[in-house]
Amino acid sequence: MYVKSFLIACFLLFLGGNYLTAQDYEYVGAGKCKMCHNKPSTGAQYKIWSESKHAKAMDVLKGDEKKDPKCIKCHATAAGVNPDLLAGLTMNEGVSCESCHGPGSGYKSLSTMKDRKKAIAKGLIIPTEKTCLKCHNDKSPNFKGFNYKEYFKKIAHPIPPKEGE
Ligand code: HEC
Ligand code: HEC
Ligand code: HEC
Ligand code: HEC
């Protein structure tokens, strides 16, 4: 009996703990990433993204569609997340960095970002095909099919190799 309630208590604590850490991180918006990710020498990820269809995904919605939860949940990162966690991210950013890389409040400091392991521990996501399939699926009224390799090429924003590498 006691063992059972102890185990249940542990399980609840475990759930609660995970829930809290997942909840800690906030969505800071692409402007924060721009500070460090816009130099041509390190790949200008911000510029590449801002010229991509993802950054303009709200522009293709017309009139009331821009407020329709059925559309914006895929067309704007800000619409698909807990509103309490919005800390800079706006609707007009469309599909922003944090849709794919996770909410940035925990990992965006230089000392954390420089250390991949630390950054991942603080919420950074290295996206895979699965990340894309959250939105690129047949629930989209304009679904055109999805080939990860081809689609990834169109949005690629690599860090170029440093000299001598
Ligand atoms: C204070 C500067 C700074 C800010 C702000 C910043 N980054 Fe970084 N980021 C870095 C540095 C430095 C690296 C390491 C680059 C390297 O390895 O050459 C990095 C690496 C990364 C990587 C590659 C991780 C890997 O190992 O593959 C991703 C993805 C990334 N940042 C995304 C973001 C996103 C998204 C934001 C905004 C939410 C952001 N960063 C904000 C400095 C920053
Ligand atoms: C499940 C996610 C999802 C939902 C829900 C969704 N979209 Fe999209 N939408 C996408 C994706 C992904 C694309 C990119 C098209 C592709 O390559 O498949 C897209 C593309 C579009 C385009 C560009 C047209 C084109 O041919 O590329 C328009 C316009 C659009 N969506 C309107 C809407 C409207 C209106 C709604 C709500 C009724 C909606 N979407 C709901 C994911 C979604
Ligand atoms: C939060 C939802 C979401 C996620 C996650 C997402 N996308 Fe998209 N993607 C969209 C929407 C919406 C559009 C349509 C934008 C438009 O037409 O303006 C789109 C458009 C695109 C396009 C342009 C297609 C065309 O018709 O030219 C490419 C390429 C693309 N996505 C690749 C990817 C890849 C690769 C991933 C994963 C690494 C990914 N997307 C993740 C929502 C998403
Ligand atoms: C649609 C999804 C998507 C969006 C939006 C997106 N990224 Fe990425 N990003 C990826 C994928 C996929 C990779 C490659 C991951 C891997 O290494 O396999 C990547 C890689 C990176 C890298 C590492 C590149 C390297 O060569 O190691 C950096 C830095 C980065 N992204 C920053 C950003 C920033 C900053 C933004 C917004 C301005 C952004 N990303 C927006 C999907 C996305």
Gap from CA of 45 to ligand 1 centroid (Å): 10
Gap from CA of 84 to ligand 3 centroid (Å): 25
Distance from CA of residue 98 to its chain's centroid? 2
Atom of ligand 3 nearest to the CA of 59: 18
The residue-averaged pLDDT of 79-106 equals 97
Q: How confident is the model at residue 164 (pLDDT cuts 50, 70, 90)?
A: confident
For the chain, what's the residue count? 165
Residue 45 has pLDDT above 90, yes or no: yes
Atom of ligand 4 nearest to the CA of 37: 35
Q: Are the C-beta atoms of residues 57 and 132 closer than 8 Å to each other? A: no
Atom of ligand 2 nearest to the CA of 139: 1
**Least confident segment among 4-18, 33-47, 73-87, 125-139:** 4-18
Q: Are the C-beta atoms of residues 91 and 78 closer than 8 Å to each other? A: yes
- CA terminus-to-terminus distance, the chain: 62
Distances (CA, A) of 135 to 14, 51, 77, 80, 139: 30, 19, 11, 11, 8
Gap from CA of 57 to ligand 1 centroid (Å): 23
Q: For residue range 3-35, what is the model confidence (pLDDT) as tens digits?
A: 566 555 545 445 444 444 555 899 999 999 999
For the Cβ of 136 lying below 6 angstroms from any atom of ligand 2, the answer is yes
The residue-averaged pLDDT of 109-123 equals 97
Alpha-carbon gap, residue 88 to 58, rounded angstroms: 17
